[in-house]
Chains A and B, each alone.
Chain A
Amino acid sequence: QVTLRESGPALVKPTQTLTLTCTLSGFSLGTSGMSVTWLRQPPGKALEWLGLIDWDDDKYYNTSLKTRLTISKGTSKNQVVLTMTNMDPVDTGTYYCARIRGGVNNRWIDPWGQGTPVAVSS
C-alpha cells in the first residue's frame, strides 16, 4: 500500500525558513519513473501546486514561488524534503506531499498524504 506522511513544524515566524519532510511507504523515489510532489492549501481556498522531484533528481517548481522553494531527496530514498524561505502569513495553510502518476506528457496526483498544517505568525 502506497502512503505518504508529512512532518514538520506547525508554527513558524515571518521571515523564517520552513522545512517539511515527506516520508514514503510502499514505493521508493529511487525507482525509475517515480516522482513526488508538494502542494498546499490556504484555509478555505483552492489547492496550489508547489513543485515536484523525479526519481532522477529532475525538479520542477511553480514559477511564482520558484525563488523560495527547494525540493530535495532526504538522507534516505524514502524521504523528500521541502524548504521554503522567507515565510509570510499568507503562506499559512495545509501542506501536502503526494505521489505523481502518469508520464512525461501527463502528471496527476495519487495518493495524497494526510497534510500538515503550517501557521505563519509572530
Chain B
Amino acid sequence: NFMLTQPHSVSESPGKTVTISCTRSSGNIASYYVQWYQQRPGSSPTTVIYEDNQRPSGVPDRFSGSIDSSSNSASLTISGLRAEDEADYYCQSYDSSVVFGGGTKLTVL
C-alpha cells in the first residue's frame, strides 16, 4: 500500500497564510482524491476539505485544497490565520484502504 507524509509541525502568525503538504509515496496523487481533517485538542476530527478541493458547508473559504502532480503531493492552505485554526491537520486518501498522513500540528503564534 501507499503512505502519506506530512510535516510534523508548522507555525505562522495570525493573519498570515500557511500551507501544509501531504506527499504520496506511490501511485499518482491526481488519481485518488485527498481529504483534510482538522482536530482541535480534546475533540473529534472534522472535515475541512474533501475530494481535493471541496469545502463542506460551514467551512470558511480561508481553507483551500490543491493537488500538485509534479511533486505527487496535496496541500492544504489556510489564509488569514486565526487563533482558532490552531489544531492538528490530517490528510487522508483511499485506495482499497483508508490511509492517513501522520498529522501536522499547526501553531498560530
Q: A-side interface residues toward B, CB under 8 Å? A: 37, 39, 46-49, 52, 60, 62-63, 96, 101-102, 105-115
Nearest 4 A-B pairs (CB), nearest first?
A49-B98, A112-B44, A106-B33, A108-B35
- A62 neighbours in B (Cβ, 8 Å): 97
Q: How far is the CA of A111 from the CA of B43 in the complex (A)?
A: 12
Contact of A109 among B32, B97, B98 (CB under 8 A): B98
Q: Shortest distance in angstroms between B68's beta carbon and chain A's nearest beta carbon?
A: 19
Cβ of B70 under 8 Å from chain A: no
Cβ of B26 under 8 Å from chain A: no
Cβ of B63 under 8 Å from chain A: no
Complex interface bits, B35-67 against A, C-beta within 8 A gives 1, otherwise 0: 101010000111100110000100000000000
The number of chain B residues touching the other chain, given as a range, is: 20 to 34
A110 touches B47 (CB 8 A): yes
Listed by A's residue number, 15 A-B pairs whose Cβ atoms lie within 8 Å are A37-B98, A46-B90, A46-B100, A47-B37, A60-B96, A62-B97, A63-B97, A105-B33, A108-B35, A108-B94, A109-B47, A109-B98, A110-B47, A111-B46, A112-B46
Q: How far is the CA of A35 from the CA of B97 in the complex (A)?
A: 14
- B21 neighbours in A (Cβ, 8 Å): none
